[in-house]
Amino acid sequence: MPELPEVETVRRGIAPHAIGQRIRSVTVRERRLRWPIPAGLEAMLVGRRIAAADRRGKYLVLALDNGDRLIVHLGMSGRLSVLTAETALKKHDHVDIVLASGLILRFHDPRRFGAMLPWPATQAQHPLLAGMGPEPLDADFDAGHLHGRSRGRRQALKPFIMDGHIVVGVGNIYASEALFRARLRPGMAAGRLSRPQAERLVAAIRATIAEAIEQGGTTLRDFAGADGNPGYFRQELSVYGRAGQPCRVCGEPIRARLIGQRSSFYCVRCQR
């Protein structure tokens, strides 16, 4: 499940092959993603040079030399891979972006929760990116921000930190992991977060995300980087998917519970 570390891993994998490359051709085999791929997407891309490969939250943003941009979201099961021209097509290979080098950027997404949308240069802000919270690794994500935004909130802490308006990129896996690291219960009301707890949570989210990026993300089933390799953060997971197994810190069996319709994992002893 691509969360921020997985998307960043993909971005880093793609950037050296994509930046500076002119787009030779584009083939769209399936337009029905989360939103349909607009008919004009191919024309926008072909002949342009890729100037940058950026990321905002879980959105990849490929900037073109004329200021137009391509937004890519991997959804649940999406992959964006750098492949050689002769790589055989697989089921769910929806889009090929063929570069002047001969390499292909191939978008593959069985569940089609992903998206591929144009962001014209004439459009200052894209609706999907407007209103997004700070990046967890940026300086403007700090205890003051998190504590301030949590005031008056009765929502559970876990869905609160998964809300992209509060902070971007924290999905279901890293939310459970960061809360364990911060020693906070996922079900506690966000509004009851003390200032010192907010300090701890910010530090925990930062550390969790940063370490996951270093490991190339977490591969449970689907995820692979641009080179097709899995991420190795799975072996670092403290609580996610470990229901019934002993807490790595205190030995207490890890509990699983639905919070905000999402499976959540925590240690009742370590997390108060």
Which stretches of the chain bind DNA, using CB under 7 A? 1-3, 32, 34, 57-59, 73, 75-77, 91-92, 110-113, 128, 152-156, 159-160, 162, 164, 171-173, 190-191, 221, 260-263
Q: Which is nearer to DNA, 21 or 81 (CB)?
A: 81
Q: Given the complex with DNA, which of 50 and 162 has the nearer CB atom? A: 162
- CA distance to 38, 111, 158, 233, 239, per residue, from 179 (Å): 39, 29, 8, 16, 10
For the question of residue 134 being annotated catalytic, the response is no
**Comparison of 192 and 195: residue with beta carbon closer to DNA:** 192
Catalytic residue (choose from 56, 248, 255, 262): 262
- Cα end-to-end span (Å), the chain: 28
Dihedral sign, Cα of residue 154, residue 237, residue 182, residue 185: positive
- CA distances 161 to 61, 104, 113, 147, 213, Å, are 23, 36, 22, 11, 18
User: Annotated catalytic, 2?
Assistant: yes
The minimum distance between CB 176 and DNA, in angstroms, equals: 9
Please count the residues of the chain: 272
Selecting among 11, 58, 181, 185, the annotated active-site residue is 58
**Beta carbon of residue 224, minimum distance to DNA (angstroms, whole number):** 13
> What distance in Å separates the CA atoms of residue 61 and residue 74, rounded to the nearest whole number?
12
Residue 154 CB, shortest distance to DNA, in Å, is 4
Is there a catalytic annotation at residue 110? no
42 is catalytic: no
Question: What residues form DSSP beta bridges with 213?
Answer: none
Query: Which is closer to DNA, CB of 101 or CB of 155?
Result: 155
Question: CB of 71: closest distance to DNA in angstroms?
Answer: 11
DSSP structure class, residue 6 = H
Which position has the token pair 């591969």?
219
Positions marked catalytic: 2-3, 58, 262
